[in-house]
Amino acid sequence: MIIEPFWLDRALESFSIQEWESLCDGCGKCCLHKLEDSQSGRVTYTRVSCQLLDTSVCKCKDYLQRQSKVKDCLQVTPAMAKNGDSLPNTCAYRLIAQGVDLPEWHPLKTGDKASTVKQGKSVANRVLSEIYVHPDGLDEHVISWVKA
């Protein structure tokens, strides 16, 4: 199904809830733990995910209740998308906030909700759950393929 590119040239605040939700590509990068250097403020991502992420299919196991279960689960807002700091640099919301079009593999362009995973653009099968990692050991799992 061809979807008209409703996301172009729009104010972020003008999207309906449904449109806003559909902008997420489902990459799962925002479900990874990050580390911030106390001196420089530099943020690095780790390959350690929130325990609610199903790491093989890259889906939240309890999306509707996620915010009551995981206190730092992000509810992306227009302000957050514009600021960008708390989201990875490939996040669809950041792209839209910068006036950049969505990539060709985005589900809204392919018409396939699984296209992000199928085309290797998600964290599926590349990360491990926090249940297997001691919180003090996160620095052993820093990755460079997700950037702040």
Contacts with ligand SF4 by CB under 6 A lie at 24-31, 50, 52-53, 60, 66, 70, 73, 76, 87-88, 91-93
User: Residue 136 Cβ, how far from ligand SF4 at the closest point, in Å?
Assistant: 20
Give whichever of 38 and 131 is closer to ligand SF4, judged by the CB atom. Answer: 131
Closer to ligand SF4 by Cβ: residue 60 or 97:
60
Enumerate helices (H) and strands (E) in the chain, giving the number of each: 6, 6
- Residue 85 CB, shortest distance to ligand SF4, in Å, is 13
| Triad 123, 94, 100: Cα angle to 5° | 110
| Beta strand 142-143 pairing with 53-54 | unpaired
Phi then psi dihedrals of residue 35, to 5 deg: -125, 140
CB of residue 93 to ligand SF4, shortest distance in Å: 5
CB of 2 to ligand SF4, least distance (A): 21
If one counts every other C-beta atom within 10 angstroms of the C-beta of residue 113, the result is 13
**Between 38 and 85, whose beta carbon lies closer to ligand SF4?**
85
Q: What's the chain's length in residues?
A: 148
